[in-house]
Amino acid sequence: YKRITTKSLIEMKSNGEKISMLTAYDYTMAKIVDTAGVDVILVGDSASNVMAGHETTLPITLDQMIYHASSVVRAVERGLVVVDLPFGSYQSDPKEALRSAIRIMKESGGHAVKLEGGKEIKESIKKILNAGIPVMGHLGLTPQSIYKFGTYSVRAKEEEEAEKLIEDAKMLEKVGCFAVVLEKIPADLAEKVAKSISIPVIGIGAGGGVDGQVLVIHDMLGMNNEFSPRFLRRYLNLYELMTKAIGQYAADVKSSDFPNAGEQY
What length does the chain have?
265
**By the rule CB under 6 A, 45 interacts with ligand KIV:** yes
Q: Does residue 94 have a cis bond before it (omega within 30 degrees)?
A: no
**By the rule CB under 6 A, 46 interacts with ligand KIV:** yes
- Catalytic site residue from 11, 159, 183, 191: 183
Task: Give the three-class secondary structure for 15.
Answer: coil
Q: Closest separation between CB of residue 112 and ligand KIV, Å?
A: 13
183 is catalytic: yes
What's the rounded Cα separation, in Å, for the pair 210 and 199?
11
Q: Closest separation between CB of residue 119 and ligand KIV, Å?
A: 20
Q: Closest separation between CB of residue 144 and Na ion, Å?
A: 7
Query: b/e map of 81-91 (b: 16 or more CB within 10 Å)?
Result: bbbbbbbebbb
Sign (positive or negative) of CA dihedral 69, 24, 49, 249: negative
**Amino acid residing at 202:** I
- Binding mask of the shown chain, residues 121 to 150, with x at each position contacting Na ion by CB under 5 A: ------------------------------
Which listed residue (34, 84, 191, 211) binds ligand KIV by CB under 6 A?
84
Give, as ranges, the residues between 146 and 175 that touch ligand KIV (CB under 6 A). Answer: none
Q: Where are the beta strands (DSSP E) in 87-200?
A: 112-114, 135-140, 179-183
Residues at the interface with ligand KIV (CB under 6 A): 23, 42, 44-46, 84, 181, 183, 204, 214, 216
Could you list the residues known to form a binding site, using ranges. 45-46, 84, 114, 116
Catalytic residues: 183
